[in-house]
Amino acid sequence: MKTSLPADFWGRIVFIIQRYGLSYLKGAGTTLVISLVATLIGCIIGFGVGVVQYIPIEKGDRLYKKILLRIAKAVMNIYVEVFRGTPMMVQAMFIYYGASQVLNLRMSMWFAAFFIVSINTGAYMAETVRGGIISIDIGQTEGALAVGMTPVKAMNHVLIPQALRNIMPQIGNNLIINIKDTCVLSVIGTVELFFASKSVAGTYYTYFESMTIAMALYLTMTVAASRLLRLWEKHMDGPANYDLATTDTLAYTSGMLTTPDRQRSR
Amino acid sequence: MADILRIEHLKKDFGNHSVLRDISFSVNSGDVTAIIGASGSGKSTLLRCINLLETPTGGDILFHDRSILAKGTDIPAYRSKVGMVFQNFNLFENMNVLENCIIAPVKVLKVPRAEATERAMGFLRRVGMADFINARPRQLSGGQKQRAAIARALTIQPEVLLFDEPTSALDPQMVGEVLQVIGDLASEGRTMLIVTHEMAFARDVSNHVIFMENGLICEEGAPAKIFGAPEMDSTRAFLDRFRKG
Ligand SMILES: Nc1ncnc2c1ncn2[C@@H]1O[C@H](COP(=O)(O)OP(=O)(O)O)[C@@H](O)[C@H]1O
Ligand SMILES: [Mg+2]
């Protein structure tokens, strides 16, 4: 088999793709699934932590609320510092082997992968979310309170949607970072794109060719991800031009009028 | 007992800065009260205290004879009976005009969406904004934003409307359209408190004028008296400055 390896670069690339195209695609799929899901979960964690960090502790608050908030904030601070302050590759091994040794828990590869990347993304997103909320004009909160919203409703209907829009570029950044950084999961045996590429490379000593394919696949995924997020941002902004709702179209869409015969006969 | 709102010896300090020192007045159903006074005299703080966006440091605010500063007051429920229109509009940037107007009825007052929409459309038509329901706030002119904000305040069907300098952030040519809308509301018998620097407007729409100075009510009375024959020197000086300006 090994003897049939072509002599030229492009020939070897074609050869590898023909034989191992599927394992590359599987690896890329794994990378994509882990980074998409973990970015999503990480954003949810980030919003949870960021919102709690944003809640001010006020003099008039009841004692149990003050204590609870203090503890929650302290725990979350530690979480953010630990996961932002240590390399994900080390965390992956620490958690994976720690869980089996200390807790006698054998994590499945998938669970470990989602867990580690999500919790990392969450730590980065928490500060981003807090910043995203703080940067919203105080008038938005006051407008929401003034129409009778509770602080929780103001958060859900006004602040979080605006914070989400404000931090979309950072969410995109995190997704791209995750697509690339899931490669560190190869240390715990996750067969993502890098692991797959390395295995193929090792079989034939075709590191350059193998990594060329890996580079192309990573780049395709990151470019696609950033384009899609850009589209989503546009969608969140609503149409660039609003349609004037003339009195007629309004009446029709709200079902108050049916199409007049005059128009039908024309 | 016909008082909707009674302010009693209201005080507000920011640190050691006394912004409201001792404010008392009452608002009857249908009253249009104009609040005038120099910048920094505490007019905004007064309205913000009435809506509890600021917590007063002393005195009391009674809404239908009930203190809203008492423990156990449902503040969001109270706020939904007191509409507020801000100098800077504060329309929700993440929603279009129609959504701005139905979010509170639907999410706060639990009005069915269809009914809230119909009600909102009624108010939007009245302020001349029915054509712009699909626009986001950033796509509108200042005057349009303020008219939409007035419609939003109306959709919660408040018993009292508070206006804090509703035309001060507007280009001069847009002031008229907003004052027109507020004037129409006044003539319907709505209860309103209006902080404004538009003296001619204040005289025309109000039945009671309060002139504030340094956190105190310096003089109050019927518009004809305040604008025609003010008793206090500082009222006269303030109004003179406006006539010249
Ligand atoms: N949040 C605040 N903290 C400290 N000082 C404030 C605050 N809000 C208002 N003030 C002060 O209170 C005074 C009255 O302000 P304001 O009520 O806005 O006056 P007006 O609306 O009559 O111009 C001003 O001197 C202002 O600087
Ligand atoms: Mg003011």
Helix intervals (H) in B24-112: 43-50, 75-79, 97-107
**Domain contains A155:** yes
CA dist B18 → A99, B11, B23, B69, B216 (Å):
60, 8, 12, 19, 10
**Domain contains A42:** yes
Tokens of B17: 């800065």
Query: How far is it, in rounded angstroms, from Cα B132 to Cα B144?
Result: 9
Within 8 A by CB and 6+ apart from A226, the residues are A172, A176
Q: What confidence score (pLDDT) does residue A34 get?
A: 95
Contact B190, B184 (CB under 8 A): no
Closest of A218, A168, A229 to residue A196, by C-alpha: A218
**Domain contains A174:** yes
pLDDT band of B2, cuts 50, 70, 90:
low
CA A194 to chain centre: 20
Q: Residue B175: how many CA atoms within 13 Å on its side-chain side? A: 13
pTM score: 0.87
Residue B55 Cβ < 6 Å to ligand 1: no
Task: Give the pLDDT confidence of A51-109 residue by residue, as tens digits.
Answer: 999 988 887 778 888 899 999 999 999 999 999 999 999 999 999 999 888 888 888 88
Q: What confidence score (pLDDT) does residue A238 get?
A: 82
Q: Which residues of A touch B84 (CB under 8 A)?
A: 146
By alpha-carbon position, which residue is closest to atom 9 of ligand 1? Answer: B45
Q: Residue A210 is part of a domain; what is its CATH number?
A: 1.10.3720.10
Task: Give the pLDDT confidence of B29-61 residue by residue, as tens digits.
Answer: 999 999 999 999 999 999 999 999 999 999 999
Q: What confidence score (pLDDT) does residue A3 get?
A: 54
**Domain contains A161:** yes
Tokens of A265: 């006969």
**Domain contains A3:** no
**Domain contains A1:** no
**Domain contains A2:** no
Tokens of B83: 């509409």
User: Does domain B3-244 match CATH 3.40.50.620?
Assistant: no
Q: Ligand 1 atom closest to Cα of B42?
A: 17
Rounded distance from Cα B64 to ligand 1 centre (Å): 28
Which ipTM was obtained for this model? 0.95
Three-state SS at B67 = strand
Question: Domain coordinates of chain B in residue numbers?
Answer: 3-244
Substitution target in B81, B93, B164 with the highest count of A β-carbons within 10 Å is B93
**Domain contains A82:** yes
Query: How far is it, in rounded angstroms, from Cα B116 to Cα B131?
Result: 17
Scan residues 90-109 of B and list those with Cβ closer than 8 Å to A: 90-94, 96, 103-104, 107-109
Domain count, chain A: 1
Question: Which residues constitute the domain of residue A63?
Answer: 9-265
Closest of B48, B24, B37, B26 to residue B211, by C-alpha: B37
Q: What confidence score (pLDDT) does residue B50 get?
A: 97
Query: How far is it, in rounded angstroms, from Cα A185 to Cα A188?
Result: 6
Min CA distance, B159 vs chain A (Å)?
12
| B87, closest residue in chain A (CA to CA) | A139
